[in-house]
Amino acid sequence: MTDRTRPLRLALACVLAAGLSACGPEPDHDAAAGEADAHAEQQSSSAGLPEGRIAAGEQLATTKGAATGQSCIDCHGVDGNAPIDPSYPKLGGQYADYLAHALQGYRNGDRENALMSSQASALSDQQIADLAAYFGSRPTELTNLAGVHDAD
What tens digit of pLDDT does each residue of 68-82 get?
899 999 999 999 999
> Which pLDDT score is estimated for 56?
97
Q: Which residues contact 120 (CB under 8 A, 6 or more apart)?
A: 103, 104, 106, 107, 128
Q: Which of the residues in the chain have pLDDT under 70? A: 1-47, 147-152
pTM value is 0.67
CA–CA distance, 150 with 5 (Å, rounded to integer): 48
Pair 94, 114: CB distance under 8 Å? no
The pLDDT value recorded for residue 41 is 40
Give the pLDDT confidence score for residue 20 in this predicted structure. Answer: 39
Contacts of 16 by beta carbon, 8 Å cutoff, 6+ apart: none
pLDDT at residue number 47: 66
User: Can you tell me the distance from the alpha carbon of 68 to that of 31, in angstroms, rounded to the nearest whole number?
Assistant: 47
At 46 the pLDDT is 67
Q: Which pLDDT does position 27 carry in this prediction?
A: 44
Instruction: Specify the pLDDT at position 68.
Output: 85
**CB neighbours of 129 closer than 8 A, spacing ≥ 6?**
44, 45, 47, 49, 50, 51, 52, 53, 57, 100
